[in-house]
Structure 1
Amino acid sequence: MTHYVDSEVGRLGTVLLHRPGPELARLTPRNNDSLLFDAIPWVGRAQEEHDAFAAALRDRGVEVLYLATLLAETLAVPEARAELTEQVLRSPRLGDTLRRRVADHLTYLDPAALADVLIAGLAHEEMRISPERPGGLVWTLMDRHDFVIDPLPNLLFTRDSSLWIGDRVGVTSLAMLARRRESTLTDAVYRYHPRFVGTEFVYHPELEHLEGGDVLLLAPGVLAVGVGERTTPAGAERLARQVFAAGLAHTILVVPIAQKRATMHLDTVCTMVDVDTVLMYPNIASTLSAYTVVAGPGGEPQVDGPAPFLRAAADAMDIDQLRVIDTGLDPVTAEREQWDDGNNTLALAPRLCVGYERNVETNAQLERAGIEVIPIAGSELGSGRGGPRCMSCPLVREPLPPT
């Protein structure tokens, strides 16, 4: 199977999603902040919204793969099962006695049930503890609602833990502690699942912090990498080195963004909807800057700038200028719709994208500019601060002509 992505807008062929499940039901007012959700989602409605999202993609001819299914199939490979089980058991907070009980618990699970635990977590009260099989001091001192294995509610946002550049996958290094095990699961799928046999990697989770929501494939050979709350300058530099060494790009634009939750990733303020068109939050469109990075002698990254982002991007893409469509229409609407992921569209082809229906003015702006919008509901899906692009990792897009 050939997987290949060289742009944001080439016709989408295959995408990786994660249908939200029991891990969302683990969220409570006590833990939603630490698990990075702004609200407690209605799980059933979130699943309905996600199913409608997946159906909209299939209706346009997109093959939809589910991460949980791939993970269960991966866990049928003994080496993958041993590796992922050992990773969970390595946690120093378990202690020796509880670690043995957890190992016993996981041993008897079939691959699908084990995948469920690795995603949804394992609570204190779900352990089979008895005088004959004690949990030890750690288990005794835990609250009955504490997690022995933490859930991964943010796995919904498959864009962040992996990305494809050309025919290579990058499994990223997630910045927030609550999300780091996501990359472990994704990494195992790409290394052990039969569908991905022979896949070459361009990034690994043990490297500097880099998240997929910060990486835009502006054109074949041209990447933009946001540096802010989640991706560090060191992560952007490391990606540049890896990409240049693999011959996957000739230019990297490093784009500083505000280190705050509303702009956690570059794709919260800018996404592409055509080969020469971006949807962009107007409050920063004129102030966003970029440093242009190219490969110097010996592959050493050479840095130039800063320059206005829109100018630097057009130059790197070898076009006269990027057309900009504003989020919202007035400053208040723009701010509201940016917060509700109005910028976070998923392009299915040039001039065709998926967006949350609640961002009425942004969608109208797109339609007026000749961009067809497939609106989807997102009242519950958006509670983790992510839109259609965040929820999707493209595996196959039709190639665009190189710049």
Structure 2
Amino acid sequence: MTTDSSSAPADDRSLGVDSEVGRLRTVLLHRPGPELQRLTPRNNDRLLFDGIPWVARAQDEHDAFAEALRARGVEVLHLTGLLTEALAAPAARDEAIRTALAGLHLGTTLRGHLTGFLADASPEELTGHLTAGIRNDEVRGGFGLVTSLLASDDFVVDPLPNLLFTRDSSVWFRDRVAITSLAMPARTRETQLTELIYTHHPRFAGVAALHGWRHEHVEGGDVLLLAPGVVAVGVGERTTPAGAEQLAREVFAAGLAHTVLAVPIAQQRATMHLDTVCTMVDADKIVMYPNVADALQAYAVTPADGPDAAVAADPDGDRLTLRVAEAEPFLVAAAKAMGIDTLHQIDTGLDPVTAEREQWDDGNNTLALAPRVAVAYERNIETNRRLEEAGIEVVRIAGSELGSGRGGPRCMSCPIARDPLPG
């Protein structure tokens, strides 16, 4: 069994990501923990899981995933390890406790008691409370009307089972990190904790941040760095049009991109994020769900005054004028923005039933370790075969339990450092 990694700088690897497929150097994961043991048939829908995972097996599968990354020379950081180290700072502890207890459902009596309870916890204990949650019957004291009327097994602080999917709460654009804003109430505190890590942990001292959890909804699973300077943003169930626009303004103002492709996707569970529909596996190859490929459109967004239109005193780009092009087929718009002739499509399968099954099982949700090397769930046999026929080395991992929250290798990983692509 692996343990949460410490994160003090162990080497001189720089931080930053400018593509989906540059050689992966450092990645942020979250090993499934007690928060998954809090899922029940009564709360799993609200907490966005389609089933009740076998936690021990999910941990074994995740350990194998992390080891597969390490075997390829990837430095693996664990979210709870970083969080525990960040919580050694009093300012981080105060912020974490305040945001965790901000919900209006607690009331003054219970909130006051929990504030003292969490303030007395060690960093390790506080990490556990913030991620696994606190049930009403675990409260010792603070007996007021709220705790009296709640059922004994009701949560006063909800668990965060979706922490497993570290891709959603932050995205790196070159040497800057964008803290996202998650749309579902069950996930709001995830991005608060992620922002706390990037703000207070010494590993990330001096890193400039974009966006933030208080802003328009943008989720990392909807953001693909197709090429240096080219960003695709899915707009659907989780990322809003306003979120895509605000992110575009920020990356343009910071000089981090010249084109943002806004890609409408169906607002349904099977296609909750753009990376459930397609992911990059080479600088000019993308694995894509064929049942939607022909219908997928993109709106190219650029600064009206060109790529150098950023206003130094306007970090959010609010005064930038954006040019929005007419919709084009996604693959056409992407190739134009990337400056290549063709973005080659690898289908999840020609048979529409097989394609639908493997898309549901995250066949399109691959994690590139380098150009033409990708991690994928072993269960997606047809997709993996087609990837290999296209010259992609497939690193297969088990995901029978990890996939119960609807997420694959890309969803479960936030790249923090990748090598630049060759010029």
Q: Same fold (TM over 0.5)?
A: yes
Per the TM alignment, residue 86 of structure 1 is displaced from its structure 2 partner at its CA by 1.2
- Kept in 2: contact 1:329–1:361 (CA 8 A): no
Percent of aligned pairs sharing the same letter: 67
- Cα deviation digits, residues 99-130 of structure 1 (max 9, x gap): 1221222122100110111001001111113x
**AA paired with 2:354?**
T
Cα distance in 2 between the residues matched to 1:181 and 1:398: 31
Counterpart secondary structure, 2:19: coil
Per the TM alignment, residue 344 of structure 1 is displaced from its structure 2 partner at its CA by 0.1
Residue aligning to 2:362: 341
**AA paired with 1:67?**
L
Q: Which moved more, 1:89-98 or 1:166-175?
A: 89-98
**AA paired with 1:78?**
P
Cα distance in 1 between the residues matched to 2:258 and 2:15: 21
**AA paired with 2:369?**
L
1:238 maps to which of 234, 237, 246: 246
**AA paired with 1:324?**
Q
Task: Establish whether residue 213 from structure 1 lines up as the match of residue 221 from structure 2.
Answer: yes
Q: Figure out how many residues of one structure are paired with residues of the other and give that number.
A: 398
**AA paired with 2:38?**
R
Residue aligning to 2:400: 379
- Cα deviation digits, residues 164-193 of structure 1 (max 9, x gap): 011100000000000000010000000000
**AA paired with 1:257?**
I
Task: Establish whether residue 362 from structure 1 lines up as the match of residue 383 from structure 2.
Answer: yes
Task: Establish whether residue 148 from structure 1 lines up as the match of residue 156 from structure 2.
Answer: yes
1:18 maps to which of 30, 35, 59: 30
Counterpart secondary structure, 1:208: coil
- Kept in 2: contact 1:367–1:373 (CA 8 A): yes
Cα distance in 2 between the residues matched to 1:300 and 1:154: 36
Cα distance in 2 between the residues matched to 1:288 and 1:329: 17
Residue aligning to 1:268: 276
Per the TM alignment, residue 401 of structure 1 is displaced from its structure 2 partner at its CA by 4.3
**AA paired with 1:124?**
N
Deviation beyond 3 Å, 4+ runs, structure 1: none
**AA paired with 1:345?**
T
2:300 maps to which of 292, 295, 298: 292
Per the TM alignment, residue 90 of structure 1 is displaced from its structure 2 partner at its CA by 2.2
**AA paired with 1:41?**
P
Question: TM-score, normalising length from structure 2?
Answer: 0.93
- Kept in 2: contact 1:202–1:246 (CA 8 A): no
Counterpart secondary structure, 1:262: helix
Per the TM alignment, residue 316 of structure 1 is displaced from its structure 2 partner at its CA by 0.5
Residue aligning to 1:226: 234
- Kept in 1: contact 2:298–2:333 (CA 8 A): yes
Report matched runs for 1:324-339 at 5 Å. Answer: 324-339=345-360
Residue aligning to 1:80: 92
Q: RMSD of the alignment, in Å?
A: 0.9
2:334 maps to which of 296, 313, 319: 313
Question: TM-score, normalising length from structure 1?
Answer: 0.97
Task: Establish whether residue 249 from structure 1 lines up as the match of residue 270 from structure 2.
Answer: no
Task: Establish whether residue 203 from structure 1 lines up as the match of residue 232 from structure 2.
Answer: no
Counterpart secondary structure, 1:383: helix
**AA paired with 2:167?**
R
Cα distance in 2 between the residues matched to 1:107 and 1:223: 41
Counterpart secondary structure, 2:167: coil
Cα distance in 1 between the residues matched to 2:321 and 2:189: 31
Task: Establish whether residue 52 from structure 1 lines up as the match of residue 53 from structure 2.
Answer: no
Counterpart secondary structure, 2:35: helix
- Cα deviation digits, residues 224-251 of structure 1 (max 9, x gap): 0000000000000001100000000001
Residue aligning to 1:32: 44
**AA paired with 2:208?**
E
Residue aligning to 1:65: 77
Name stretches of at least 5 consecutive residues in structure 1 with no aligned partner.
none
Cα distance in 2 between the residues matched to 1:207 and 1:108: 31
